[in-house]
Chain A
Amino acid sequence: MIDKKPTVYEEVLAAGYSRRDFLKFCGTMAAMLGLSASGASQIAKALETKSRIPVLWMHFQECTCCSESFIRSSHPIVADILLDKISLDYTETLMAASGHQAEKSLHDTMEKYHGQYLMMVEGSIPTGDEAYCCIGGRSAYDIVNEVAEGAKAIVAWGNCASAGCVQAASPNPTGARPVHKVIKGKPIINVQGCPPIAEVMAGVIVHLLTFDRIPQLDGLGRPMAFYSRRVHDTCYRRPNYDAGLFVESFDDENAKRGYCLYKMGCRGPNTYNSCGVIKWNNGVSYPIQSGHPCIGCSEASFWDNGPFYKHLQSFPGFGIESTADTIGVGLGIATGAGIVAHAISTNIRKRKHTNKGEVKADIENPKI
């Protein structure tokens, strides 16, 4: 490549940030990615020496909530700089060019950077009739296949691209499919959620830029760094669950004390996401903290796992659930039993996590 491409670090300096700001950002990203201090220096080194990876961000059957979430990314450098640290050569939401000039941008990058660009997908692909989603007179199905062919790796943003989301809910009138059902033979990262948390989106990009490999994924293709913990296990209201203290009706006295929302239908017990850890919009809150049960938006088929306000009868990996309804009256003995059961369950969960949940990096995480 003849083009002179500045490194991310050079761009950070050009943007008026100091090296101190830059290292702080690297430290924050390292913490979010669960890395040690040496990980932070690895990030710093990578961003100091790398050029900007071309990114083609495709839009199919979507509502643009992923793009909107992405621009909410809030660590100082992420909003101003990370957006520019990749070279976002195609995104219908923000790009200046329209029509055939937009298509030119797309094709220029596909040709010039064949095999090197990252493809990011927002939205599902209709397979019922290809005319259900057309751009520039071409079907989403054709476009996704064409762009994927020369992509180094694919990031499937949100529930639409990862699992089909709302338009794939029963009866899925347009035959909406996620990317991994349409594209084979490429590494695909499913960054789940409706939308995903902004800092998770930024974190995945930083991971790709830094380590030149896709992050460790769970069985559903989600990065372990952000989707290995149940919302239930990281929820600050969890002690209320363990103590049998539940909201019985919205805005009741228990709701005003922030008790557990399990009986209001909370999907935290079978939802894997970072809401309880990273929270939303720079750590301001998350659904449960603001009084609404988790609806499970980072899980496939969560729309058909309803109705939302009907509480789960049971959930995997935890022994107390079948009797949770009968707790909640504040009986000391039940509460004690709950804690014991919880401790046992957590240990089981840990073993599963170690033995089964994780996948070997060298097999599932090819270098990109």
Chain B
Amino acid sequence: MAQRIVVDPITRIEGHLRIEAEIKDGVIVDAYSSGTMVRGIELILKGRDPRDAWAFTERVCGVCTTVHALASVRTVENALGITVPPNADVIRNLMFCAQYMQDHVVHFYHLHALDWVDVVSALQADPAATSQLAQSISSWPNSSPGYFSDVQKRIKKFVDSGQLGIFANGYWGHPGYKLPAEANLMAVAHYLEALEWQKEIVKVHTIFGGKNPHPNYLVGGVPCAINIDDSNALNAERLAYVGTLFDQAYDFIEQVYIPDLLAIASFYKSDWGAIGGGLSNYMAYGDLPTNGYADVGSFKFPRGIIMNRNLNEVIPIDGTDPEQIKEQIAHSWYDYSDNDPSGKHPWNGETNLNYTGPRPPYEYLDVDNKYSWLKTPRWNGHPMEVGPLSRMLVGYASGKDEFKEVITYALQKLDVPVTALFSTLGRTAARGLETKLVAGWSREFYQQLLANIKNGDTRTFVADKWKPETWPSEAQGVGMTEAPRGALAHWIKIKDKLIDNYQLVVPSTWNASPRDANGNRSAYEASLIGTPIADPENPLEILRTIHSFDPCLACAVHLYDHNGKYVHQIQTF
């Protein structure tokens, strides 16, 4: 008889995620992923000015802040036929790069590392040996015995206080932790350094968008004007600031993040390089245009689908094809007016909230029926994994040299076969490797911006379709991007200058959704099957695999109503 365990809340993520897993003979035999919070952003968007949608959708997520704003302005621009000036594309790319670097570093150190790093073990480390270890893998200057000794003293003081704060009740001492004490101490030191560092790179957003989290975007371009001869616009000082931030970020990623990632991975590769593979289909919408967003072939991250782990073929995607991308609700707390199990394309989507789960407080969800606020998206009926691993695989399979180089480098360094990519560890490694690529690209984009300005092009906005009088009476559009967590797209229908319909299909909906009408699992559930669990009371292994996806649940849950009316009852207190 299988034992059912529940992990809720899954912490160190964005949003509210619950995992129920069935364990038999120490191995997960089935798993259920549930989003347990809903807000209703899309319904709220109905009837509003399409130029405002970026601000609403940006608030879908404050961790991957900016990505929904970017998807939104592109969606509206696609609907209205707006092509933004080259500087706007470059500045959007720079903000994209800054977001990836900050988000991936925070994920690695602050959301994921504690699954691999035993903080308490760091107390036993020899600072001198830690220094040797650090200096053997990186030229990062903070690596003296005294430095690590100070960090260790600080941790000891913290532990001795009896108030363990965010480190209380962790799985410390679990047999799954394999790092030597010195590697643990090095990782803890870098946990603290990364916390300090991450607030710097986001200043790129502050310079171009005025604040972070939630910088400002603009339909038709970017809001910041360029004037190298005025103190109130982007000038040499502002641009130099951006350049310095990217240089510092590059150093941190090359000298801290990547060496740490490979060092930690080397201790876990034998088992976690073969656990957690899950699905075998990978999808990326791609992003970072180098010749305007309309030229998909110019993207640094290419677009496409890999089926059955066949790296010899990349299949194209069409977001406007009514048959390709559809959302189902077989196991989601919504109703459709018809009962078409194949689902609905986002332009024709429809959702009515209908909670049919157990009344809280509850012990278990009714997983035979509906069990999540997430819908279940499918591409031509197939489940897809999205995220860093998908992007790296699509880049690799597309024959892009940069992708092949970093992947080959990592595989050789770790001495593992290419199949190790299809795993929990492969997912975590792919995130780091793409950060390395992005760190390099950010410098290219920065030089491109300087070159444009030097050549006299300071345009950041196109005004000709700004006024609603210039719009057609009806329009529809789709905007695609890559959030740090994976493929993200928005769809819009505009009618009489207002939003008639707005739909988001986001990365964590692809990955974290419940099973579809045919009973096929999505990525989270599939990836947990077969995972050994050493101690069901301390299911560290579940967190490792789920965190390897970098869950973002507020994004994943949303609702939309085709007719602008919702059918549930609102009780007022």
Determine whether the beta carbon of A61 is less than 8 Å from that of B39. yes
Residue ID in chain A nearest B10 by CB atoms: A98
CA–CA, A164 and B412, complex, Å? 51
Determine whether the beta carbon of B170 is less than 8 Å from that of A99. no
Determine whether the beta carbon of A97 is less than 8 Å from that of B168. yes
Determine whether the beta carbon of B49 is less than 8 Å from that of A289. no
Question: A208 interface residue, CB < 8 Å from B?
Answer: no
Cβ-neighbour of A291 out of B44, B63, B162, B224 (below 8 A): B224
Residue ID in chain B nearest A169 by CB atoms: B44
Determine whether the beta carbon of A166 is less than 8 Å from that of B59. yes
Question: A135 interface residue, CB < 8 Å from B?
Answer: yes
Q: What are the interface flags for A226-261 relative to B under an 8 Å C-beta threshold, 1 for contact and 0 otherwise?
A: 000000000001000000000001111001111000
Determine whether the beta carbon of A94 is less than 8 Å from that of B39. no
Cβ-neighbour of A249 out of B36, B63, B466, B559 (below 8 A): B466
Q: What are the interface flags for B159-181 relative to A under an 8 Å C-beta threshold, 1 for contact and 0 otherwise?
A: 01111111111110000000000
Determine whether the beta carbon of A256 is less than 8 Å from that of B63. no
Question: B456 interface residue, CB < 8 Å from A?
Answer: no
Question: B51 interface residue, CB < 8 Å from A?
Answer: yes
Determine whether the beta carbon of B199 is less than 8 Å from that of A131. no
Residue ID in chain B nearest A247 by CB atoms: B225
Determine whether the beta carbon of A54 is less than 8 Å from that of B163. yes
Determine the chain A residues whose CB is within 8 A of the CB of B333 once the complex forms.
131
Determine whether the beta carbon of A68 is less than 8 Å from that of B192. no
Determine whether the beta carbon of B12 is less than 8 Å from that of A93. yes
Question: B531 interface residue, CB < 8 Å from A?
Answer: no
Determine whether the beta carbon of B49 is less than 8 Å from that of A16. no
Determine the chain B residues whose CB is within 8 A of the CB of A345 once the complex forms.
none
Question: A102 interface residue, CB < 8 Å from B?
Answer: yes
Interface-facing stretch out of A28-36, A79-87, A313-321, A359-367: A79-87
Determine whether the beta carbon of B169 is less than 8 Å from that of A84. no
CA–CA, A73 and B119, complex, Å? 24
Determine the chain B residues whose CB is within 8 A of the CB of A224 once the complex forms.
none
Determine whether the beta carbon of A132 is less than 8 Å from that of B163. no
Knowing A96-B167, A290-B208 touch, does A171 contact B43 (C-beta < 8 A)? yes
Determine whether the beta carbon of B232 is less than 8 Å from that of A257. yes
Knowing A195-B213, A280-B212, A284-B207 touch, does A136 contact B8 (C-beta < 8 A)? yes
Residue ID in chain B nearest A92 by CB atoms: B11
Q: Give residues of chain A (79-128) contacting chain B, Cβ–Cβ below 8 Å.
A: 79-80, 83-84, 86-89, 91-99, 101-102, 104-105, 108, 126-128
Determine the chain B residues whose CB is within 8 A of the CB of A182 once the complex forms.
573
Determine whether the beta carbon of B466 is less than 8 Å from that of A89. no
Question: A72 interface residue, CB < 8 Å from B?
Answer: yes
How many A-B residue pairs lie within 8 Å, measured between CB atoms?
Answer: 347
Determine the chain A residues whose CB is within 8 A of the CB of B65 once the complex forms.
65, 68
Determine whether the beta carbon of B59 is less than 8 Å from that of A65. yes
Question: B360 interface residue, CB < 8 Å from A?
Answer: yes
Cβ-neighbour of B210 out of A95, A198, A288 (below 8 A): A288
Interface-facing stretch out of B214-222, B252-260, B376-384, B472-480: B214-222
Question: A9 interface residue, CB < 8 Å from B?
Answer: no
Determine whether the beta carbon of B568 is less than 8 Å from that of A129. yes
Question: A25 interface residue, CB < 8 Å from B?
Answer: no
CA–CA, A307 and B205, complex, Å? 24
Shortest distance in angstroms between A147's beta carbon and chain B's nearest beta carbon?
14
CA–CA, A93 and B16, complex, Å? 10
Q: Is the interface of B mostly helix, strand, loop or mixed?
A: loop
CA–CA, A99 and B536, complex, Å? 12
Shortest distance in angstroms between A195's beta carbon and chain B's nearest beta carbon?
6
Question: B361 interface residue, CB < 8 Å from A?
Answer: yes
Question: B262 interface residue, CB < 8 Å from A?
Answer: no
Determine whether the beta carbon of A291 is less than 8 Å from that of B554. no
Determine whether the beta carbon of A96 is less than 8 Å from that of B199. no
Question: B323 interface residue, CB < 8 Å from A?
Answer: no
Interface-facing stretch out of A172-180, A212-220, A334-342: A172-180
Determine whether the beta carbon of B40 is less than 8 Å from that of A258. no
Determine the chain B residues whose CB is within 8 A of the CB of A289 once the complex forms.
210, 232
Determine the chain B residues whose CB is within 8 A of the CB of A166 once the complex forms.
39, 41, 44, 56, 59
Determine whether the beta carbon of B466 is less than 8 Å from that of A134. no
Knowing A59-B16, A93-B12, A287-B211 touch, does A64 contact B52 (C-beta < 8 A)? no
Determine whether the beta carbon of B39 is less than 8 Å from that of A285. no
Question: A71 interface residue, CB < 8 Å from B?
Answer: yes
Cβ-neighbour of B44 out of A5, A69, A173, A257 (below 8 A): A173
Q: What are the interface flags for B405-437 relative to A under an 8 Å C-beta threshold, 1 for contact and 0 otherwise?
A: 000000000000000000000000000000000
Determine the chain B residues whose CB is within 8 A of the CB of A72 once the complex forms.
198-199, 202, 212-213
Determine the chain B residues whose CB is within 8 A of the CB of A291 once the complex forms.
210, 223-225, 233
Q: What are the interface flags for A3-23 relative to B under an 8 Å C-beta threshold, 1 for contact and 0 otherwise?
A: 111100011001110000000
Given contact pairs A102-B169, A173-B43, a sample of 19 additional A-B residue pairs in the complex whose CB atoms are under 8 Å apart: A3-B163, A5-B163, A14-B153, A14-B158, A59-B16, A64-B14, A65-B213, A89-B168, A96-B169, A102-B9, A127-B573, A137-B8, A167-B40, A169-B56, A249-B463, A250-B220, A250-B463, A285-B207, A289-B232
Nearest 5 A/B pairs, CB to CB: A258-B232, A65-B62, A96-B170, A287-B210, A173-B40
Q: Which residues on A are within 8 Å of B, measured CB to CB? A: 3-6, 10-11, 14-16, 52, 54, 59-69, 71-74, 79-80, 83-84, 86-89, 91-99, 101-102, 104-105, 108, 126-140, 142, 165-167, 169-177, 182, 194-195, 198, 237, 249-252, 255-258, 275, 280-282, 284-292, 295, 297, 303, 306-309
Q: List 30 A-B contacts (CB under 8 A).
A: A11-B157, A63-B14, A63-B61, A66-B62, A72-B213, A79-B195, A86-B165, A87-B165, A89-B165, A96-B12, A96-B168, A96-B169, A101-B169, A105-B169, A131-B360, A167-B44, A169-B56, A171-B43, A171-B44, A173-B43, A175-B572, A182-B573, A250-B461, A255-B233, A256-B458, A257-B227, A281-B206, A291-B225, A306-B52, A309-B51
